[in-house]
Each structure stands twice: as structure tokens, then as C-alpha cells.
Chain A
Amino acid sequence: MTEDRMRELFREMREEPVPADSLARVRMAVSERTERRATGWWWRFAAAVALAACALVVLFVTRMQDVPAAPVVAVARPGNPLASYTPPQPKPVVAPAVRMARKVEQRGPDVVIRIETPDPDVVLLLVGSE
């Protein structure tokens, strides 16, 4: 085969029509795949939004619980004379210890014994308990 013939064949190949069914199949498949991809994108987007919402709810619920306040920290600035100043730390308030109530002994009723002496001005009184 000569080079001229080869080039002639190349030219013929260029002008050769592409089979219509091949064109139709490509068009259909491309349309199907791109639509599927678009739908897939919406589903992925919806799933991502739902996940973000769930994460926010969890965060909100955990924030609702008591969280100890963060200690105040003095920020040092260069050239600021107050940089080295540290605010006095509040002394921890110690709760007064609860005293245990002493058990009071139960005493019985007082006993008084009156003894009269021969002297009418002297009377002996003995006071005691049981």
C-alpha cells in the first residue's frame, strides 16, 4: 500500500458516518449516568444536613448540663506594667463543719431530802438525782 493510498484511506475514515445506534446508546447512557449522579448528589447533601443537625442537637443537650466556669486568666501584654499582675485568687470558702449534736444524758427527777435539826433555824437539804 502506498503512502498516498494510506492518506486517502485516512480521509475516508474521517468522512465515515458513525453508526446511529452507537450515537443513541452513548446519548442515553450519558443522560442516565449524569441524572443518577445529580440525584445522588441531592441524597448526599440531605444526609450531610441531617448529620449536622444531629450533631447540633447532641452539642446543645450536652451544653445544657452544668459546666464549671472557666477560671479568669490574665492576659499578659508586652510593655504593660500590669502584665505581671495576677488577680488574687479567691480563697476557697470552707463550709463550716457540721457539729454533731451531743447526746444529752437523760437524768431522772431530782431528789430532795429535808433533815430538820434541833435548832429550828438550821435545816439540812440534800439534793441529788437518781
Chain B
Amino acid sequence: MQHIAIITGVSRVSTTFEDIVRQREAQILRVAHRMLGNWADAEDVAQEAFVKLHRHGLGFANDAAMGSWLYRVAVNVCMDRLRASRPSLELTEVAAGSANAEATLQAADDKRLLMAAMAQLPERERAAVVLREIEELSTAEVAAILGSTEVTVRSQVSKAIGRLRQLLGGK
């Protein structure tokens, strides 16, 4: 069992690799799913990211640094996949078990439309929107993950929102 030492604040905490996978897998899967549009590809990306973390091993300054590193790896793997082939979106996300079926269908339909519109964004703009708007990371964090500046991230998010509005016929 591999142990990863993470320094949090002033105390050094020893966390196992398995703990990190358990803590972060949902996050990484969600980001990959929003980037790629289907769960099967998202699972592959999450696997790849965690195997890379295992290979990379120890030496993160803190928990945030590790989180940022994992996001960066996942986003890069997603971008590689998007460049290699444009995946078809699985737009069949209907939430089950809702009391109000009509509202649920409407919400699912809106979500499907939004996902389809996001699939048409350039990779970097899509990554910026997913990390900034869905994951609610700070602009600085998104810039660090994408390897760009905060100004660029702000501009990418703004452009992406404008494009989405245009695609979805918004005002």
C-alpha cells in the first residue's frame, strides 16, 4: 500500500493512495464527464489520472497542490482525447425518481441542450467553464491547472458563456 505524505498547514499527515482515490474520484469523474460527455470515457480518464498519481507518488506540498495536480492531469488527458477524436455525447441524463416528472424532463432537456452546446466549445474554453463554473474553482486555480494566466481564463470563460448563450438562443 503506497503512502503519500501531505503537509497540511504545519502538521504532516500520512494518507494512503487508496484514501486519495476515494476522496477525489467523484470530482475527477465529474470533470471528465463534463469535458467528454459520457461516463465510459470519463472512467478511463479518471483511471489514467490516478495511475499517473501513483506513478508520480509523493512530494506534494499540501492537499490543494495535489488536487490541482490531479485536475491538471485529468484535463490534459481529456483534451488529448478530444483532439484525437470527437466523441459523441451521451445525452440521456434523465434524473429518475422525481416527483414532478414534467419539471424533471424539462430540466433534463435543458441540461442536455447545455451539454450539447458545451461540446461545441473549443477544448480550452470548455475546460475553463467546467473548472470555473461547474467545479467553482477560483480563477487563479483554473489558471494554474490550464497553465495560463488569470486574465486568459477570465477571457476564455466570458467568451464561452457568450458562445453558449448564442448557441442556446439566449438573451
Min CB distance A28 to B, Å, is: 10
- For the A-B complex with A3-B170, A30-B50, A31-B18 known, give 16 more contacts whose Cβ atoms are closer than 8 Å: A1-B169, A9-B111, A10-B133, A12-B107, A13-B30, A13-B34, A14-B135, A14-B136, A22-B39, A26-B25, A26-B29, A27-B21, A27-B22, A29-B43, A33-B51, A37-B54
- In this assembly, does B127 line the interface, its C-beta being within 8 Å of a C-beta of chain A? no
Instruction: Give chain B's interface residues, CB within 8 Å of chain A.
Output: 2, 17-18, 21-22, 25-26, 29-30, 33-34, 39, 42-43, 46-47, 50-51, 54-55, 107, 110-111, 113-114, 133-136, 161, 164-165, 168-171
A34: Cβ under 8 A from any B Cβ = yes
In the bound complex, do residue A1 and residue B168 qualify as a contact, i.e. CB atoms below 8 Å apart? Answer: yes
A37, B170: Cα distance in complex, Å: 50
Task: List the B side residues contacting A22 at CB < 8 Å.
Answer: 29, 39, 42-43
Q: How far is the CB of A112 from chain B (nearest CB, A)?
A: 112
Shortest B68–chain A CB gap in Å is 18
Is A97 engaged at the interface, CB distance under 8 Å to the other chain?
no
Chain A: number of interface residues, binned into ranges: 20 to 34
The B contact surface, by secondary structure, is: helix
Q: How far is the CA of A29 from the CA of B43 in the complex (A)?
A: 9
By a CB distance below 8 angstroms, the chain A residues around B26 are 18, 23
Does B165 contact A6, Cβ atoms closer than 8 Å? yes
Question: What are 23 of the A-B contact pairs (CB < 8 Å)?
Answer: A1-B170, A2-B170, A2-B171, A3-B161, A3-B170, A5-B110, A5-B170, A6-B114, A13-B34, A13-B111, A14-B134, A14-B136, A18-B29, A26-B25, A26-B50, A27-B25, A29-B43, A31-B18, A33-B47, A33-B51, A34-B17, A37-B54, A37-B55
* Contact status B21-A25, CB under 8 Å: no
Main secondary structure of the interface of A (DSSP, over half): helix
